[in-house]
Structure 1
Amino acid sequence: MQVLKFGGTSVANAENINKVAAIVKKAVSKNKTVVVVSALGGVTDMLLQAANNAARGSEDYKQAITEIEKRHFDAVKSLIPVAHQSQLLSLVKTSINEIEDICNGIFLLSEITPRTKDRLASYGEWLSSQIIAEKLRFDQVDVQWKDARQLITTNSNYTQAQVNFEATQANIVDYFNSLQQSLCIVPGFIASNADGITTTIGRGGSDYTAAIIAAALNAEILEIWTDVSGMMTADPRLAANAKVIEKISYGEAMELSHFGAKVIYPPTLQPVMTRNIPVWIKNTFAPEDAGTLVLNNERSAAQSDGNIIRGISSINSLALLSLEGSGMIGIPGFSKRLFEALSNEQINVILITQSSSEHSICVAIDAGKADAAKQAIDEAFANELALQKVEPLKVETDLSIVALVGEQMRSHPGVSGKMFSALGRNGINVRAIAQGSSEKNISAVISTIDVRKAINVLHEDFFETTFKQVHLFIAGVGNVGSKLLQQIEKQLVSLQQHLKIKINVIGISNSRTMVLNEKGIALDNWEGELKQGEKASLPLFVEHVINKNLRNSVFVDITANPDVAAIYDRLLQKSISVVACNKIAASSDYANYKRLKDLAREFNCKFLFETNVGAGLPVIGTLNDLVYSGDEVLKLEAVLSGTLNFVFNNYDGSRPFSDVVRQAQEEGYTEPDPRLDLSGTDVMRKILILAREAGHEMQMEDIGNNGFLPQECMEGDVEAFYACMHRHEAHFKQLLDKADAQNCKLKFVATFNEGKASVGLQHIAPENDLYHLYGKDNVVLFYTLRYPSQPLVVKGAGAGADVTASGVFADIVRAASI
């Protein structure tokens, strides 16, 4: 004997019922079968809504009844040959007339009772089962229809009737022992009390009906046919990479069902669990899919796929109630009175947590019951409130529960640590925690706005061993930004293969337009997408980054814009890592620099700015390694401007100094405003950043600058700057001649020594380490306790779009690896 149950979506219309008929005929050919069916999809809701409208005095209920009639008529006319429709259509019409009479009565009385609700709701399953049975008869299947009200006996707790299992068992066994047919169709959800009055066994009760029958008959298997291919590791609407669970234990399935996985109705498993009857969840619309097999714990564990966690689920629309007070400590009875007050209001407690100090108790309930709960608890503790032994009840809303479920967690330490670490890295605050002694479930209360992110973060950590998804937002796509996007596109496959990282560029903005796409921007057509984007707005771009609340988000600033640098703190406080090519933030007021570093630590993200000094050279990384390993920087000597090194390496007096500077700008070595380079301001920022990273509290004004530009050249715009340099060519030629006379080269050098920093043009002799520095190269000499006389040297190209982009790319990978 086998029992098959088909849900509302499986029997929603004639097309779907034909699919069900095909599955049933195949099943009957192998074994004697009981089929339990739900109402046509949505009909039960329509019936109850019609009742509610009638009770409110609204005649809209008539329209709902008309729609219900049409849906059933359409099904009959599509499934049954015309010559044989009349009897079934007459049965449907009689039922519709009864529904209308009941609703008319409700309308006249302006009230509806639970008993009337059950009577009205029962028509959905009653009609669908009659239609399906008749369809199978015309398909030459030996079928018998049986009213579940004659099989399942309950008490009179209407809408949530409790089953009398002893009487029900006897009814089912007696009936099926005498049944001659190979197939029996039974309506789900409905039952009757001892007086034969219609009752229902709760929403989702068709699953329960099937389980009750399967248990009574000790069936070989219970198949639950629905619109998905089994239970999944997470809600596929929230986690795109959710997978079907091949096998799962009864306990795990019940936990997942309780915590929002609506594939199966939670009480379903109770009757079959006691009989060790496997439950197979299958997809009506993809019957060849393997589905999920629910087994007892031992059989499930023996055939485990190796995953400690079986699934991740959630419950939304929760409120957290917190009862606190010093008067609770050591006084018995507070918990009893709290739960008693909730019980009296028929309020179900979903999660409980209590501090070991007994100073507070937190419970999570349905948010819709929060006001009633507060009133009941305040009344129960009125005396303690008056005496200030307890504080007024705190009610927090807009909360959800995210739960990890798995039988094997009890034997694997570190699961909860991994869970909370993953949530913390992504800025998801946990408001309350609960874990039973069975260690089958770890639940965390979080903000509802974080549910999607939390589900994806946890699913990625526990199930997606293939790669980690990183969401990238890029501000600034000029020379460096465009090279970065090219490099990312080229390395996408390699990153997934070797580092298990998948980079998804979600947002791109320049000064004119921006494009935002949560599914990802095509890197082979990002320029086209950006041209078609909306008008650029930094506030809107940042709001998008924050409001999308995507896991593993990284914001990349490849601008020189102070407004962009000013929003880093907002991003870091949302656990969004910041990669900055822009030097403004790291060289701003020391208090701001330190605050940004502290925010990154506090909110478990990264603030990285390797390219602030030396483009793609590992200057800051090397300095950090020295300091973190306990070394101390005694002195720094460096040529930190690729622009100035290029200029002085190429200026030989044969052409104007201004022409060489313009060449540097055209080749992409200078800042957008080359005066920042030639004035020494950019180098001052760089040595300031290095001094700070070495552990020194310094400000920009603490750095000396021995400049070489005539002051008047700093006035006006960029073109005026070039014109002024051209007029002062004799000045620049004189600087070159003095250096040549001493057999020296001109280098713009930054130094840090004994807590003091300065920058300026120097004559560098051939024996100096800075002499042999060509093209646009940079060099940094680290004199430390470990390298006191022979410095640690970092040397290489310190300017250029390609190398700078590679440095930004490296920081993105570092940020993604936390």
Structure 2
Amino acid sequence: MQVLKFGGSSVAHSDAIKRICSLLEQKPKGRYAIVVSALENITDQLIQCGQLASKRRNIYKNILEKIEIRHLNIIRELFPITYQSHLISWIKKNINDLENLCDGVFQVKELSKRSLDKIMSFGELSSSFLIAEKLKESGLDASCKDSRDLIITDSQFGCAQVDFTTSNHHIIQFFRKKTSEYIVLPGFISSTLKNETTTLGRGGSDYTASILAAAISANLLEIWTDVSGLMTANPKIVNQAFPIKEISYEEAMELSHFGAKVIYPPTIHPAMKKHIPIQIKNTFSPKDPGTLIYINKNVNISQPVTGISGIQNMALLTLEGSGMVGIPGYSKRLFEALLREKINVIFITQSSSEHSITTGIHEMDVIKAKTVIDNEFSKEIYQKRLDPLRIEKDLCIIAVVGENMKNLHGTSGKMFSALGRNSINVRAIAQGSTEKNISAVIKKYDFKKALNTLHEAFFESPPKQINLFICGVGKVGSKLMEQIDQQKNYLLEELKLQVRVIGLANSKKMYFDNNHGINLNDWKKNLIQKGISMNIFSFMEKVWKFNLRNSLFVDNTASEKMAMTYDKFLKNGIGVITCNKIACSSNYDHYKRLKTLSRHFKAPFLFETNVGASLPVISTLNDLINSGDKINKIEAVLSGSLNFIFNHFLGKKSFLEVVKEAQLKGYTEPDPRIDLSGLDVMRKILILARECGTILELSDIHQKSFLPETCSISNSIEEFYQKLHKCKNYFFKIRNKAEKNKKRLRFVARYENGKASVGLESVKQIHPFFQLEGKDNMVLYNTYRYSEQPLIIKGAGAGAEVTASGVFSDIIKATK
């Protein structure tokens, strides 16, 4: 014999009931006990009726009317007119009984648990009656049986405890006498020996089915629901979650205890005692294999974790004090005090020094728990042998479950490492002696991120999802998104990276898409049409709210205000990728703090494009230093814009014309005065000096300006251009002098013996800088190992495309 249970979503409406009948008709010939829940949401409506009636609010009658209409509509949709009369009479009679019960609650202004159980019983009694009648009308040998006649409990209304001896006797006797092939029973409801209606707790229909299956020694218990089995995690939170094919009873109990809602926790015990397999199936996709729960699960030695679950809205209670050390009985008193108030303890951990005991409970029980614990230990707290009870709220618990964890080393290390990499702080840890469960208490704020992080770590073969928040969508930003879009398939196939742009912003607007990521084909339109007003603090609030794993902030601006936000991102475990030089060339303490925050919070801080666009200038320098080499001297042409200007300052072209050409091509900063003043190069050599370990400020760099003093002082770019025009002969003289000596003009940065300088120089033909063309940069590293010939890095050092590619390269490095 088999027992099948259908949940509320499986009996939500007439089409769902027809689907159940069709499923049963396709079953092999045999005997079936069919346990059903109330129609979807009916139980909640019944509870609402009782509560409203107790508050003397007549609106409960409107809800009762809606419940009646819904059931009557289902009768009209399911049955031919000739079959409807007695069904409608049955429903109306029960609705009248229900209304009389609610009227009584209305009169006494009190809703007892006993009355509420009676009210709630209507849902299952009605659905089981209608389904049994539909099976009969379809020509099947079906009957209906009230579960209250079979399952006997104590009088703990609301969540009654089953008297298994009496219940099993009643169930066995009934099924021996009853010969119907299909016997439909209401789930969730039961009764006392005095025939008072009780309930088995929310989700109790599963429990009803398991009790019946165990009593009659069924060969299979099927639980039909709206998902295709127990999932590796909650699919509403983890999109990549998938059904678990096989799972042991113990694993299923652990997952259900920690919030997996597919199966009601007590369900497993009766079936497990009799070794009855439990199959979780999807009513709406009956061909899906679902999940099989049984004792001899096939063990996959390479997969230690079976599933991940969690409970939100939790609080930690910590009882501690020197008076506990070496004194027996504190734990016993603590848990007995909680037991007296029927407070469920979810989590327990105790320090090895016996100095403290920490327990996790539901947040709704905090006030009751504090009162009872303070009373229990009032004497010890008054004598200062114990500290007052410490309460921490807004927490949740994450549980990694797997029977095979005990056979494989490193599971807990992998778990905590994954959480740590995403800046998820663990407040408390517990691991059972059976090693089937590792539990961690974390902030409720991190719940979604933690579930996704752990699911990625234990279940997802690549790709790894990377979430980008990009500020600055001008020339560099636009090229960056173009490159990401072009390379997305390569990244997915070769590097196993799924790069999503979640947020975009320019100086005026910001736009986010947290569901699937921003479509990079029409990001401009969405930013303009759907974007909201840009504010850096609002932008950060959005990033914190999303709280996505593997998040990176990308700054493509030249904004000082933006550069001063990096510390906040790094503190939240969000990596920073930037081509903005301001942060790393700000005061040394700020630069050092950013580097420290990056290490402390394990958040990458990469700024390769600060020097040389996409050239590997900083990474090569770090490789030299990390491998033990010593930097003796750095000589560099670090301004692609200035090199372009001096390479094209030829013939009759004026200096102003060449500067404007460089700006038009995007080689200069938005304000070309930054390039021509040498400030941009000063920042770059400062960053290299700091990466060498030298404590240096921008003001420490010696600068020899090539601009006339009149050009150095200008209030606008237009005024600056006017002054350049007036000084055209001055620039011709500088150029002609270099050409006469067969030299070329180069703006050179130098670092040696802890000192740095920048300035315009005329270089000889034998110098490597002489051959520099176009906008190229060149860096010469003279080191202990490269003492005879310097290590040379050369290539394009300016331009939106190469800068974007450098930023893109840093993004890929950050993922590792």
* TM-score (structure 2 length as normaliser): 0.98
Q: Secondary structure at the match of 1:524?
A: coil
Deviations 1:706-728 (A, max 9, x none): 11001211212112212211211
- Contact 1:322–1:360 (CA under 8 A) maintained in structure 2: yes
Q: Secondary structure at the match of 1:771?
A: helix
Aligned positions of 1:91-130 closer than 5 A: 91-130=90-129
Say if 2:451 is the partner of 1:438.
Answer: no
Q: 1:559 aligns with which of 545, 557, 560?
A: 557
Deviations 1:226-250 (A, max 9, x none): 1111111111111111111111111
Counterpart code for 2:783: T
**Which residue is 1:618 aligned to?**
616
- For 1:375 and 1:787, locate their aligned partners in 2 and report how far apart those are by CA, in whole Å: 73
Percent identity, please: 52
Deviations 1:586-623 (A, max 9, x none): 00000100111111111111111000000000000011
Aligned positions of 1:168-183 closer than 5 A: 168-183=167-182
Say if 2:418 is the partner of 1:419.
Answer: no
- For 1:662 and 1:401, locate their aligned partners in 2 and report how far apart those are by CA, in whole Å: 61
CA shift for structure 1 position 64: 2.2
- Contact 2:301–2:404 (CA under 8 A) maintained in structure 1: no
**Which residue is 1:2 aligned to?**
2
Q: Secondary structure at the match of 1:308?
A: coil
**Which residue is 2:566 aligned to?**
568
- Contact 2:503–2:513 (CA under 8 A) maintained in structure 1: yes
Q: Secondary structure at the match of 2:342?
A: coil
Counterpart code for 1:766: Q
Flag structure 1 segments of 5+ consecutive residues without an equivalent.
none
Q: 1:476 aligns with which of 465, 472, 475?
A: 472
- For 2:108 and 2:536, locate their aligned partners in 1 and report how far apart those are by CA, in whole Å: 60
Pick which of 39-48 and 140-149 moved more: 39-48
* TM-score (structure 1 length as normaliser): 0.97
- For 2:478 and 2:196, locate their aligned partners in 1 and report how far apart those are by CA, in whole Å: 74
- Contact 1:653–1:733 (CA under 8 A) maintained in structure 2: no
- Contact 1:248–1:294 (CA under 8 A) maintained in structure 2: yes
- For 1:570 and 1:399, locate their aligned partners in 2 and report how far apart those are by CA, in whole Å: 23
Aligned positions of 1:603-682 closer than 5 A: 603-682=601-680
- For 1:745 and 1:324, locate their aligned partners in 2 and report how far apart those are by CA, in whole Å: 76
Counterpart code for 1:14: S
CA shift for structure 1 position 167: 2.0
Aligned positions of 1:469-548 closer than 5 A: 469-519=465-515, 520-532=517-529, 533-548=531-546
- For 2:474 and 2:45, locate their aligned partners in 1 and report how far apart those are by CA, in whole Å: 57
Deviations 1:619-653 (A, max 9, x none): 00011111122222121111111011111111124
- For 1:685 and 1:547, locate their aligned partners in 2 and report how far apart those are by CA, in whole Å: 34
**Which residue is 2:142 aligned to?**
143
Pick which of 196-205 and 482-491 moved more: 196-205
**Which residue is 1:405 aligned to?**
401
Pick which of 574-583 and 458-467 moved more: 458-467
Aligned positions of 1:194-209 closer than 5 A: 194-209=193-208
CA shift for structure 1 position 776: 0.9
- Contact 2:637–2:749 (CA under 8 A) maintained in structure 1: yes
- Contact 2:79–2:134 (CA under 8 A) maintained in structure 1: yes
**Which residue is 2:362 aligned to?**
366
Q: Secondary structure at the match of 1:746?
A: strand
Aligned positions of 1:685-700 closer than 5 A: 685-700=683-698
- For 2:538 and 2:796, locate their aligned partners in 1 and report how far apart those are by CA, in whole Å: 36
CA shift for structure 1 position 307: 2.8
Deviations 1:319-357 (A, max 9, x none): 111122222222222222221221111111100111112
Q: Secondary structure at the match of 1:301?
A: coil
Pick which of 7-16 and 589-598 moved more: 7-16
Deviations 1:187-208 (A, max 9, x none): 1111222233222222211111
Aligned positions of 1:34-45 closer than 5 A: 34-45=33-44
Say if 2:462 is the partner of 1:463.
Answer: no
- For 1:768 and 1:121, locate their aligned partners in 2 and report how far apart those are by CA, in whole Å: 91
CA shift for structure 1 position 270: 0.7
**Which residue is 1:349 aligned to?**
345
- For 1:268 and 1:274, locate their aligned partners in 2 and report how far apart those are by CA, in whole Å: 11
- For 1:672 and 1:546, locate their aligned partners in 2 and report how far apart those are by CA, in whole Å: 31
- For 1:332 and 1:695, locate their aligned partners in 2 and report how far apart those are by CA, in whole Å: 56
Say if 2:251 is the partner of 1:255.
Answer: no
CA shift for structure 1 position 305: 9.0
Pick which of 461-470 and 678-687 moved more: 461-470
**Which residue is 1:20 aligned to?**
20
Q: Secondary structure at the match of 2:311?
A: strand
**Which residue is 1:72 aligned to?**
71
**Which residue is 1:268 aligned to?**
267
CA shift for structure 1 position 738: 2.0
Pick which of 657-666 and 193-202 moved more: 193-202
Counterpart code for 2:23: I
Pick which of 52-61 and 756-765 moved more: 52-61
Counterpart code for 1:523: L
Q: Secondary structure at the match of 2:598?
A: helix
CA shift for structure 1 position 179: 2.3
Say if 2:284 is the partner of 1:285.
Answer: yes
- For 1:556 and 1:709, locate their aligned partners in 2 and report how far apart those are by CA, in whole Å: 34
Deviations 1:449-478 (A, max 9, x none): 111111111111111113111111111111
Flag structure 2 segments of 5+ consecutive residues without an equivalent.
none
Counterpart code for 1:2: Q
- Contact 1:3–1:34 (CA under 8 A) maintained in structure 2: yes
- For 1:14 and 1:76, locate their aligned partners in 2 and report how far apart those are by CA, in whole Å: 8
Counterpart code for 1:410: K
CA shift for structure 1 position 537: 2.3
**Which residue is 1:806 aligned to?**
805
CA shift for structure 1 position 370: 0.5
- For 2:337 and 2:182, locate their aligned partners in 1 and report how far apart those are by CA, in whole Å: 49
**Which residue is 1:683 aligned to?**
681
Pick which of 13-22 and 481-490 moved more: 13-22
Q: Secondary structure at the match of 1:770?
A: helix
Counterpart code for 1:540: S
**Which residue is 2:749 aligned to?**
750
> What is the Cα-based RMSD across aligned positions, in Å?
1.4
- For 1:792 and 1:391, locate their aligned partners in 2 and report how far apart those are by CA, in whole Å: 64
Pick which of 356-365 and 557-566 moved more: 356-365
- Contact 1:211–1:222 (CA under 8 A) maintained in structure 2: yes
- For 1:30 and 1:746, locate their aligned partners in 2 and report how far apart those are by CA, in whole Å: 96
Pick which of 579-588 and 659-668 moved more: 659-668
**Which residue is 1:388 aligned to?**
384
Q: Secondary structure at the match of 1:794?
A: strand
- Contact 2:425–2:442 (CA under 8 A) maintained in structure 1: yes
- For 1:76 and 1:482, locate their aligned partners in 2 and report how far apart those are by CA, in whole Å: 61
- For 1:47 and 1:536, locate their aligned partners in 2 and report how far apart those are by CA, in whole Å: 48
- For 1:785 and 1:150, locate their aligned partners in 2 and report how far apart those are by CA, in whole Å: 91
CA shift for structure 1 position 30: 3.3
Counterpart code for 1:338: L
Q: Secondary structure at the match of 2:615?
A: coil
CA shift for structure 1 position 155: 2.0
- For 1:522 and 1:739, locate their aligned partners in 2 and report how far apart those are by CA, in whole Å: 52
- For 1:670 and 1:16, locate their aligned partners in 2 and report how far apart those are by CA, in whole Å: 67
CA shift for structure 1 position 666: 0.9
- Contact 1:146–1:185 (CA under 8 A) maintained in structure 2: yes
Pick which of 218-227 and 332-341 moved more: 332-341
Counterpart code for 1:644: L
CA shift for structure 1 position 306: 4.9
- For 2:103 and 2:475, locate their aligned partners in 1 and report how far apart those are by CA, in whole Å: 74
Pick which of 187-196 and 671-680 moved more: 187-196
Q: Secondary structure at the match of 2:760?
A: strand
